[in-house]
Amino acid sequence: MFRVFTLIIIFLFVNAEKYTYASNSSKQLGSIDFSTSVSGTAQKHFLHGVAALHSFWYTEALSAFKKSISVNPRFAMGYWGLAMAHNHPLWEEQDYESAKTALSKIDNISKLTQREQDYIHAIRLLYGNREKHDRDKAYAKAMKKIYHDYPNDLEAACFYSLSILGVARNTVNKLRLQVEAGSIALEVFQKNPNHPCAAHYSIHAFDNPDLARLALPSAKRYAKIAPASHHAQHMSAHIFVQLGMWADAVDSNTNGWKTSVDWVEKKNLPLSNRDYHSLQWLHYSLLQQGLIDQAMSIFSIQQKDMAEGIKTRSNLRAGKYYYRMLAASLIETENWEVIDKFSPPDGWEPKSFSEAGYLFARGFSAAMQGKIEEANKHLLEIKTIRKQDFKKNYYKRIEYLNVWELEIQTAIKLYQKDFETAIKLAKQAILLEENLPSPSGPPRILKPSYELLGEVYLKADKPIQAQENFSISLLRHRNRIRSLVGMARASNANGNRETAIESYQQLVLQLKNANAELPELKEARSFLEEK
C-alpha cells in the first residue's frame, strides 16, 4: 500500500505527456474529446451527453443522447450513451430493461470502428445475463482492455476508473481499488485538467479520511470545470467535509442547491428534482460552524418542500434526508428538548431505513433527557424494523440499525450513571461501525460511536480514555464540533493543557461567525482567557 501511495504522490508532480483536445463538450460541463464515426450535430449532442455522464447528470445525459439519435437514428454510440445513462454504479442503481432496449437498436448498424465495437462489447457485458456484481466485474475487465489498447483515449481511462469504483462498493479490497481508480483519474487530470471525470472520480476515489488530501486539488477545481452541474458544485464538499474545511463545504453545497433550483425552474421540472442532498450537507456544515439559526432555516426549506410534496404527491424525495437533518439538529446542538418541534408532516410515508433513523433521533433524544420509557419504546420499534428484509449489501443498512440500537442503550445507561455498562455498549457500537463503509459527509452513524464512547468516559471521570476516543473520532471526522469540545474538556481534565489549548483555539476559529452566546464558544473563550 505504501508503494501505491508513493507512486500517486510522484505522479502528481511529474509532467505528463500533453494532449490536444479538439472538441469542447459545451454548455459548461467541461472539456472532452470522444471521437466517433459520426460528426456534425449528432456528435455535438453526444459529446454533451458524455460530459453530463461524467458529472452523474443522468437526466441531462439521456436528453442529449436522445437528441443525437433523433438527428441520426443509426448512430450506434448514441444508443451506447443511452445504455450508459441507465447505469448509476456508485448508487447501485440500474435500469436494466431500458438499457437492453437501447442496445438492441445497435444490432443492425454496421460500419463501426474497432474502438466503437470494443465499447459496445463492454457495455453488453454490463447488461448481460449474470448477477449484477458479476456483470460489473466483467465490464470492468473489458474497460481495462480498452484502457490499455487505446492509451491516448482519455474516455477509456475515465470509464475504466468509474468501473473500478463500481466494483469496489461490494468487495473486501475496496481501499486498494479506490486507490487504483483514483490514480487513473489523476492521470486524466494531468493530461486534461478541464476534464470533468478527472476531478469527479478522483474525489469519489479518495473520499476517505485517510486519502482525502490527495483529492484536494480536484475538489478546488471541479466546480469551475462543470459550473452547469449541480452535482459538480456539491461534489467538492466531499473532500472539504473530510478535511473539516467547513466554510468551503458551505460554499460548495450552497452552490449545489442554488444550481439545482435554477435548473428546475428553467426546465419547469417538479421540485423533487432539486438537490436535497446538497441541502442536507449544507445544513450539517452550517452546524459545524455554530451557525444554528442559518442551519434551522435550511431545515425549514426541507420541511416545507416535504409537506408540499406530501400534499401534492409531487415531491416525495424531499423527505429522504429528513431524519438525518433532524438528528443533526439535535445531536450537534444538544438541545434535546426541541425534538417535538420537528415532527414530520402528516402523511409522511418513510421507507423502513428512514423511519429507523427518525426513531433513533427520537429515542436517543429521549434517553439523553432521562425519558427512559419513551427511549425504550423507540428502541423496540427499531428492533421491529430490523427484522424486515433489506436489500443485500445495500449500504449495510441492517448494521446501521444495530449501531443505533446500541447507542440508544448506551445513552440510557449513561443517564442512569451505569458507566460500566454504557462503556461496554459503546464499545460494541464501535466494533460494528468499524466494519461499515468509511465516513463520507455528514455521519451516517448519526452519533459517531467513538465520540459517544469519549463522552461516556468523560462522564465516568476517565479523561485519559476519553481523550483517546475523541482523538480517533477527530481522525474520522475532522474538526467536528462535538468531538473538539470533548477533546478540549478531556485534555484539560487529563492535565494536557497544550492539547486543550489547541482544541479550544480551533473551536474559536471555527465558531468565529457564531452567536457570541453559543455555549461552546463561550466555554472556549473563557478557557483561553484564563490560560
Contact 182, 8 (CB under 8 A): yes
Neighbours of 392 (CB within 10 A): 9
Contact 218, 226 (CB under 8 A): no
pLDDT in tens, 107-147: 888 889 999 999 999 999 999 999 989 999 999 999 999 99
What pLDDT score was predicted for residue 311?
84
What number of H helices and E strands is found in the chain? 26, 2
Would you list the DSSP string of 216-231?
HHHHHHHHHH-TT-HH
> Where exactly are the structural domains of the chain?
2-235, 473-531
Q: Which residues contact 267 (CB under 8 A, 6 or more apart)?
A: 273
Nearest to 213 by CA among 199, 203, 200, 198: 203
What pLDDT score was predicted for residue 273?
86
What pLDDT score was predicted for residue 531?
67
Report the distance separating Cα 404 and Cα 429, nearest Å.
8
Contact 65, 85 (CB under 8 A): yes
What pLDDT score was predicted for residue 27?
58
**Which parts of the chain sit beneath pLDDT 70?**
1-27, 389-396, 531
DSSP state of 393: T
Helix (H, G, I), strand (E, B) or coil at 74: coil
What pLDDT score was predicted for residue 395?
53
What pLDDT score was predicted for residue 391?
56
Q: CATH code for 2-235?
A: 1.25.40
What pLDDT score was predicted for residue 450?
98
